Amino acid sequence: MKIKRILFIPLLFLAVLAGAAQERDTLRILSIGNSFSVDAIEQNLHEMAADAGYVYIIGNMYIGGCSLERHANHAESGAADYSYRKIGTDGIRMVREKTPLSYALKDERWDVVSFQQSSPLSGISASYEPWLGRLVRYVKAGVPSASRFLFHQTWAYAQDALNPNYSHYGCDQKLMYRAIMDASKQAVEHYGLEVIPCGTAIQNYRATWYRDNVNRDGYHLNLTGRYIAAATWFCTLSGGDVRGNAYMPLYLTPGQVKAAQEAAFAAYTSPYAVTDFGMRSNTVNYDEARVPKFTLPAMMRCGDGSPVRNRRVWETKRRPELYALFEREMFGRAPEASEKPEAELLESAEGVLGGLADRKQVRLTFRKGRAMDLLIYTPAGAKKPVPAFLGINFHGNHSICSDEAVRMTELDAQQRRYGVYPGMDRDKPESRAARGAQASRWPLERILAAGYGVVTFYRGDIDPDFDDGFRNGVHGIFYKEGQHYPEPDEWGALAAWAWGLSRALDYLETDSCIDASRVAVLGHSRLGKAALWAGASDSRFALVISNDSGCGGAALSRRALGETVEIINRSFPHWFCGNFKKYGGNEDKLPFDQHELLALIAPRPLYVASASLDRWADPKGEFLSAVAASEAYGLYGFRGLKGARMPEPGGSLLSDRMAYHLREGKHDITEFDWLHYIAFADQFLK
């Protein structure tokens, strides 16, 4: 017993010391802010600190759009209007709604407290007073005397942001940035605060070759911007260097992380001026002489080194291996289609489009009310189910033709911001696409006269085409409890769009007007990438067409000509799964190349098309990929495009199960393309 007591006392003493050390080493941070503080500290900061060996407790007193005036008034009145959002030492998050500021001040012995102005007023010095002074005095009276007091600098809006408050700054990003610098510097110096120079860090990043790709709606930050802001906070809090921090969030490439860390550290060392740290050039290679030497992965050799000599080995071993690689490392796993969407007929009519077609509009509703609207045209008076082309449209169902009865598609915020093209109806308050603005891409009369139906839906019905953290599309309806974004091997937007194509086919299997066994899936550009993945994932598609799909679609990645893996992941971080980001500038490490994606479609008919002036999509890379994929078709006794030479602009190649053409002109899908697709489909779908 005596021995046990002697041992117990030192152990208890050590435990007390350990607890005291943890208490000392934990940094407690409270932000009094709005959605810009959510962007800056609620993602990445806790993880960065952990990688560097720091323990943070992060509190955020949040009211959306809250100004210093409102903060000061709420503080003094005790208004319980805040959402108190807190991340503990273990990274677990809690939220306490309807909370007064006084509660948060007493909840922890805060080491750091930050203040910020709302973004519209952040460059207007007069809006800071007397509110910032009153808020600082209130907070100082409620926290330890040794606390640090920081001012969180906000950032200028994206240059093309559609925000009414942008007019305060002449809708000029540089003017807004300069105004924020002047106002924040004046506030910091007047009250003896430290600055968290997020505005400068964001502007530094915009000065690199990644440019103005940090916002999700023109003013709030996307995943990249959030990382930059968190890195800036980390530098300020630690008094150190974030460069080399090993924490890398999902959907950022190593190049983006490096540039973000450089931007943040440069802002920390020079908080009121943009720093040029040598990353301004964005050299895109269009020179065949500069295409790196490469060797394509051996498509006909299994992972264990054994050869693929027949279709049985291909179908039972090699094809499943390749599909799993693309799924895990590029497109991401989509959820199982365990339930069919609920179909509702919204409208139907016969003899439309000048008597050429019958029309049907159908809403497919998934769980949690998420829905997509199908627009279906079939040849008028068809006596039996017809074959059809199924594809996603860019700008809404109403944009593909001038049919006044087609329901107007409500477009997402990013589409309203970036969807500027000939035919945009600028007079409508929602700035949606004008009716028929994209009719040239859907020559309905030509397709219907050839005996085919047309089925389409708007991409935003499945997933908005911008980096929103996967919150506004179908991803969220499948999250597990506590999940906020896909895992590194789970689906991005392209896989979601492909999933939507399969759900449309589910419905067509129940529609008496369409023969679902004779449906060709088709897509242009990014939607061509989605069509290829849909064709690889769902063998029910009878024919697959890729139009100018480029990098991540039909073009070989290892050529690194035009758009590259690094560029595509930087510009569109939401398209692919998180795992794909590690191959930016590192294409040789890819365990596959795009010829193997095309091969997954074998033995079904495949058409790959390019445009002569579309160098960004690497037409030669698309052609070489199709040629290399022919080896899979050979297992089924089809020659494919094996041994073919690339045609001149305007020329085409047609084999037994594969076709390719090089249209003259730029990145687009035209009637020329459709004429070739219809002729190809005639061989297999009629």
Give the active site residue among 147, 348, 502, 667: 667
Tell me the backbone φ, ψ of residue 58, rounded to 5 degrees: -115, 120
Which SS3 state, helix, strand or coil, does residue 26 take?
strand
509 vs 581: CA distance, rounded Å: 36
285 vs 95: CA distance, rounded Å: 49
Tell me the backbone φ, ψ of residue 536, rounded to 5 degrees: -70, -35
In the residue annotation, 525 being an active-site residue is answered as yes
Q: Which of 555, 550, 546, 552 is nearest to 565 (CA)?
A: 552
Which SS3 state, helix, strand or coil, does residue 349 take?
strand
Radius of gyration from C-alpha coordinates of the chain: 28
412 vs 611: CA distance, rounded Å: 29
Q: Is residue 275 a contact partner of residue 607, using CB atoms and an 8 Å limit?
A: no
Q: How far is CA 284 from CA 212, 258, 368, 525, 619, in A?
A: 17, 19, 43, 19, 15
Q: Is residue 82 a contact partner of residue 104, using CB atoms and an 8 Å limit?
A: yes
- Tokens 């506030």 map to which residue? 187
Give the active site residue among 525, 537, 546, 557: 525
397 vs 407: CA distance, rounded Å: 7
Q: Is residue 337 a contact partner of residue 360, using CB atoms and an 8 Å limit?
A: no
In the residue annotation, 524 being an active-site residue is answered as no
Beta strands across the sheet bearing 453-458: 342-351, 357-365, 371-379, 453-458, 386-393, 514-524, 543-547, 606-611, 658-663, 652-654
Q: Chain centroid to CA 244: how far?
A: 25
Bridge-partner residues for 654, per DSSP?
659
Please, how many CA atoms are within 13 Å of residue 436, restricted to the half-sphere of its CB?
Answer: 8
Q: Is residue 153 a contact partner of residue 196, using CB atoms and an 8 Å limit?
A: yes
- Which run of H or E residues covers position 515? strand 514-524
Q: How far is CA 452 from CA 190, 378, 449, in A?
A: 72, 7, 7
Active site amino acids: 525, 667
